[in-house]
Amino acid sequence: MATVVDELIRRVYEQVLPLRAGAPADYIPELAKVDPDGFGICLATADGHVYEVGDTRVPFTIQSISKPFTYALALTDRGEHAVADKIDVEPSGEPFNEISLDPGTERPRNPMINAGAITATSLVAGDGRDARFERIRAAYSAYAGRELHVDDAVYRSESESGYRNRAIGYMLRSFGIVTGDPEDAVDLYFRQCSLSVTCHDLAVMTATLANNGVNALTRERVLPTELVERVLSVMATCGMYDAAGAWVAEVGLPAKSGVGGGVVAVLPGQLGIAVYSPRLDAHGNSVRGVEVCRALSRELELHFLHVTRAARSAIRARYPIAQSPSRMRRTRAERDLLDQLSDHGVIYELHGDLQFTGAEATVREIARGEARLEAVVIDVREIDEVSDVAATMLSSVRGELVALDCGVALVDPRGRLGHTQSSLEGPGGRVFHDLDAAIEWCEDLLLARHWSGTRPPGSIRLDQHPLLQRLTPEQRDVALTLVEHVEFERDDVLVHRGEPTAGLFLLLEGRVSSLVTDNADGRVRRVSTLSAGMTFGEIPLLLDTVALSSFVATTAGRAARLPASVYADLSARDPSLELGLVKGIAAGAYEQLDTMLRSLAHVPGGR
């Protein structure tokens, strides 16, 4: 299914598409030939997933978006101090192609303007112009995860019309910033700007920066971690030329634009954004690209100063419902069926602060299994803070799952996602205060859909009870005369914790829960829930001791009770019946223990 993020970038695409302001760059003749209305958006996460819409595979030249990547290569080759001796890192406040140096330092003000970028190309190591360019091309290819190549027509056009850049090159040589032939440095700059990329390539390249210099697709380290911070810092303060201040205030992401129509932005540790649209504004930035980044930053709350806490949101755990059954006691046949449906029901436990990337990872993970999913538990008990966009994304994915006939159980006792106990009531989902109740609801849903035979009845006769069925016919006839019938209403306490045994109860109709009070926080916790055909009270009866938990009716129903005094007389009166009951109780207890252990196996924080 299309995820919430797919729909979001599609919506932004459609909102921005009508913009027709600006025009393609024409000072390089070949750039003026492109379709002015080409438009694509890509968003790549730090773990390598790419969302895209529009003309994301249309090739265009990288132009000035090349600057941070060549700057990174120069830092790698020469070191931070050597590069700093040649290029400052201060915003210029001037157009990108200004023929000037800082009057105080007599250096280019930063590597994102042409003077600084030409200087950076001159610092790339290599034996000759071709070898140095090959290192640049190979580095860009490593960021993109595929081989990139020069657009020869654009390169020739740049070279033939690049008088201003040649003037910058000779100015740099005259001040000793470029020490070799300035023609070599300028030609390298023309060639790197003429590398052909797609919007998809740029998204992967920026996601590599977001991922601390490791390409999430190839797992190759492209840039040392310690240099990523410097490159992103310069992008944040200088990447959008003389519009950099407004960019930081409005968008708040390290970014870079190019006159080929590309704009890239990075949210460190999380994602990279790339937009392609050739119509440029007066600053040389893509009109649509700037507006897309504004919209995404606003809607996804991506501004790097918006983060309120250091904690990262994440999926704490993901596991099948069958691996962590509820404390509802099921028959062997029911448990076997739930095991068979293991990949039809999944639990997602989230923790930390839920911002865009945590929600994105969750909805993407859910989307991967949507073909089989029929029941999903989303546990947000360990979530601390929730952004509006994250709440919206989880609400949207719930709606999509319900539309696909998948039940959704949201465990949100504190109402972090804005839902109350009843606000999600319905066939598609509910809100629960504890994980166990949510799992039980999902199990019931799966059993209702897939049980092919006759389900265990909600009401049985006494002679049909499994405990009596384990006896011989003669023992069963005797047992039927020894029990008394009990009817109860919801919330009736049938067994009180700490009191002497009340006898052995054979549940015939309704549900009864075993409850204990947590001494640490005073909360009442469910140990298990029983239904028709099950027993309780057996352990205190056999050991002649007090009950360790209370048994409370969760529905109206009825049971048969073998009083403790009657059982005490069986040793002398009918030892074979006593032995039969003990064997039956032991068999049932073993099954219950198996269920209990499995219910605890995958619950790190308890239920």
The residues assigned a catalytic role are: 64, 67, 189, 241, 259
Q: How many CA atoms lie within 13 A of 245 on its CB side?
A: 6
- Spacing of C-alpha 27 from chain mean position: 44
Residue 254 backbone dihedrals phi, psi, to 5 degrees: -55, 135
* Cα(346)–Cα(374) distance, integer angstroms: 9
Strand 345-354 relative to strand 314-320, pairing: antiparallel
Name the residue with tokens 């696909």: 404
Report the alpha-carbon distance of residue 435 to residue 377 in Å, rounded.
Answer: 8
Contact 18, 291 (CB under 8 A): no
The gap from C-alpha 469 to its chain's centroid, in whole angstroms, comes to: 50
Helix (H) or strand (E) holding 566, with range, is helix 564-573
CA distance 544 to 500: 8
Report the DSSP pairing between strands 60-61 and 195-197. Answer: antiparallel
- Give the separation between CA 453 and CA 74, rounded to whole angstroms: 71
> Which amino acid is residue 447, in one-letter code?
L
> What's the CA gap between 22 and 290, in Å, rounded?
12
186-209: buried (b, 16+ CB within 10 Å) or exposed (e) per residue? bbbbbbbbbbbbbbbbbbbbbbbb
- Burial-class residue 342 by CB neighbours within 10 Å (0-12, 13-18, 19+): middle
3-state secondary structure of 354: strand
Q: Give the C-alpha separation, 341 to 337, whole Å.
A: 6
Residues near 499 by beta carbon (within 8 Å), at least 6 away in sequence: 546, 547
- Cα(236)–Cα(253) distance, rounded to whole angstroms? 6
| Rounded alpha-carbon distances, angstroms, from residue 601 to 321, 351, 403 | 11, 19, 32
> CA-based angle 106:110:116, to the nearest 5?
75
